[in-house]
């Protein structure tokens, strides 16, 4: 039998303190109040709450505001022109919802909360003003680059990795994010999203996700009970992800130019 989670709360834990310390705007925000070197530009963002399952904003609507997430979590949903919907990512406290790249005039995805959440609201005008300042500008661009990279990794995962690898990847990613936030590296994590959301993100079905979680647990990589999960064997998961014994699902993108690919030199997230 697995480790006893159920001694802890069975409802979604509300991580207590707001995530200002992780916020992109912490240095210019009166609420965060960590640094006041920027007085003239300081932000006093509005804050409000969004209940579980409610959208913070919807795809295609004018992108007038960005929403740093203080409490709770959210999923991004993209709907293609033909009406296919897919989860494209999850956000945790400290992330900024609605940061659209390329100065897009509309939101490229919808953001739906996964729990009751609290967000700040920063107008894009303030954002643009703030971005006159090189350090913040760089920080914002860096976040956008990371988001883009994330989507590319997801594309490759969905396009050429097997189901267990995809799921292992997600779990490692979630654990990494968790650790980056509360420094908590014991592998405990609470999945705010449903199996269906995970399945959508990874291009699988919820049954497959459920079965794989069970299988991972059976072989001692993790333990799961509902949405409470603990990573027991991080390296084991990493080797599932890295495919150390699993055949690739399809042909590699041709290396027809014949330029060498260094087989070593790979970093693990």
Partner DNA sequence: CGATAGATTGATGCAGCTCAACGCGTGTGG
Partner DNA sequence: CCACACGCGTTGAGCTGCATCAATCTATCG
226 lines the binding site for DNA (CB under 7 A): yes
Burial degree of 30 (CB within 10 A; 0-12, 13-18, 19+): exposed
164 with 240: CB under 8 angstroms? Answer: yes
214 lines the binding site for DNA (CB under 7 A): yes
The item of DNA, its own copies, none sharing an interface with residue 210, based on CB under 5 to 8 Å by kind, is: DNA
The item of its own copies, DNA, none sharing an interface with residue 88, based on CB under 5 to 8 Å by kind, is: its own copies
- For residues 49 and 46, what is the distance between their CA atoms, to the nearest angstrom? 10
CB of 44 to its own copies, least distance (A): 28
The item of its own copies, DNA, none sharing an interface with residue 200, based on CB under 5 to 8 Å by kind, is: its own copies
- For residues 205 and 211, what is the distance between their CA atoms, to the nearest angstrom? 10
The item of its own copies, DNA, none sharing an interface with residue 247, based on CB under 5 to 8 Å by kind, is: DNA
Choice between 31 and 117, CB closer to its own copies: 117
141 lines the binding site for its own copies (CB under 8 A): yes
- For residues 68 and 20, what is the distance between their CA atoms, to the nearest angstrom? 9
The item of its own copies, DNA, none sharing an interface with residue 15, based on CB under 5 to 8 Å by kind, is: none
Identify which range of 81-89, 95-103, 182-190, 218-226 contacts DNA by CB under 7 A: 218-226
- For residues 105 and 60, what is the distance between their CA atoms, to the nearest angstrom? 9
132 lines the binding site for its own copies (CB under 8 A): no
118 with 100: CB under 8 angstroms? Answer: no
- For residues 80 and 225, what is the distance between their CA atoms, to the nearest angstrom? 34
232 with 222: CB under 8 angstroms? Answer: yes
- For residues 87 and 140, what is the distance between their CA atoms, to the nearest angstrom? 23
Please name the residue that has the structure tokens 């069970």: 214
Closest C-alpha to 174, from 152, 151, 196, 198: 198
269 lines the binding site for its own copies (CB under 8 A): yes
11 lines the binding site for DNA (CB under 7 A): yes
Residues binding DNA: what is the number (CB under 7 A)? Answer: 32
Neighbours of 192 (CB within 10 A): 22
Question: What residues make contact with its own copies under the rule CB under 8 A?
Answer: 53-55, 58, 77-88, 101-104, 108, 112, 141, 144-145, 148-149, 151-161, 194, 196-197, 199-200, 202-206, 241-243, 248, 250-259, 261, 263, 266-269
Instruction: Give the interface with DNA as residue ranges (CB under 7 A).
Output: 6, 10-11, 162-164, 191, 194-196, 203-211, 213-214, 224-227, 247-251, 254, 256
């Amino acid at each position: 039998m697995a480790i006893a989670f159920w001694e802890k709360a069975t409802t979604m834990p509300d991580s207590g303190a707001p995530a200002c310390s992780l916020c992109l705007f912490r240095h210019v925000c009166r609420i965060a109040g960590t640094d006041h070197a920027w007085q003239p530009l300081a932000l006093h963002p509005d804050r409000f709450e969004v209940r579980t399952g409610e959208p913070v904003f919807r795809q295609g609507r004018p992108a007038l505001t960005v929403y740093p997430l203080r409490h709770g979590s959210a999923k991004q949903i993209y709907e293609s022109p033909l009406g296919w919907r897919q989860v494209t990512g999850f956000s945790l406290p400290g992330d900024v919802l609605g940061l659209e790249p390329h100065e897009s005039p509309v939101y490229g995805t919808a953001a739906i909360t996964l729990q009751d959440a609290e967000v700040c609201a920063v107008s894009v005008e303030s954002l643009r003003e703030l971005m006159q300042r090189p350090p913040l500008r760089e920080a914002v661009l860096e976040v956008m680059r990371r988001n883009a990279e994330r989507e590319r990794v997801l594309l490759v995962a969905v396009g050429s990795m097997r189901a267990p690898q995809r799921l292992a990847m997600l779990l490692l990613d979630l654990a990494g994010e968790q650790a980056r936030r509360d420094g908590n590296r014991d592998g405990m994590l609470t999945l705010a999203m449903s199996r269906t959301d995970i399945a959508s993100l990874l291009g699988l079905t919820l049954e497959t996700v459920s079965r794989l979680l069970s299988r991972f647990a059976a072989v001692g990589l993790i333990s799961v009970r509902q949405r409470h999960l603990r990573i027991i064997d991080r390296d084991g998961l990493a080797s599932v992800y890295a495919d150390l014994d699993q055949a690739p699902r399809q042909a590699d993108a041709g290396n027809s130019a014949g330029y060498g690919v260094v087989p070593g030199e790979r970093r693990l997230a």
